[in-house]
Amino acid sequence: MQADVTKFADIDQVAATIRAKKGVIDIIVSNAGLTEEASIETLTPAHFDKTFNLNARAPVFLVQKLLPLMTRGGSIVLVSSAMHLKGFPGHTAYAATKAALRSYARTWAAEFKDRGIRVNTLSPGVIDTPILDSQAPTPEAREALVNMYLGMIPLGRLGRAEEMANAALFLASDQSSYMTGSDLMGDGGAGQV
């Protein structure tokens, strides 16, 4: 099902479809997001609102609408970013939204404890996905960007989408049944050293 999580009507439709077809939901993984650089001098209200609407506001209302369908023992995974730990030029709005997700996980872990619902964040580092293409206007600029990132990653490589999918699956599954309010860093060590 395709939906725009920045639109309440779309989120309502997702909840209604799940209610009609399944009746319950066991897992929510909130992974929609964008990053666009803007220094504090170039930051505009439009950039700020676009980033916050998708990265920080949408997950709140997605969880709000799906929570009544969530079973006891359910799991919510909010995909944050290692950026919530680091100061990185040009990422004022993006980093703040990812810090917000980390805060939501802590708050909701406490709020949903009596419902038996766990909430954790997954904080990827630099992952080799098309989002990198959106940060560079040319293949040469992308290569320079990747090389800059590689210099900050102790494992010396970009992460793969499959690695993040495996980490999200771990957090969603009973294999992490004693974890809530946690932040799983899938960042190749970039946020740790």
94 is catalytic: yes
Instruction: Name the active-site residue from 94, 104, 149, 178.
Output: 94
Question: CA-CA distance, 41 to 131, in Å (whole number)?
Answer: 23
Entry field: residues in the chain: 193
Structure tokens, 21: 């077809």
Structure tokens, 66: 């799906």
Question: CA-CA distance, 28 to 36, in Å (whole number)?
Answer: 25
Active site residues: 94
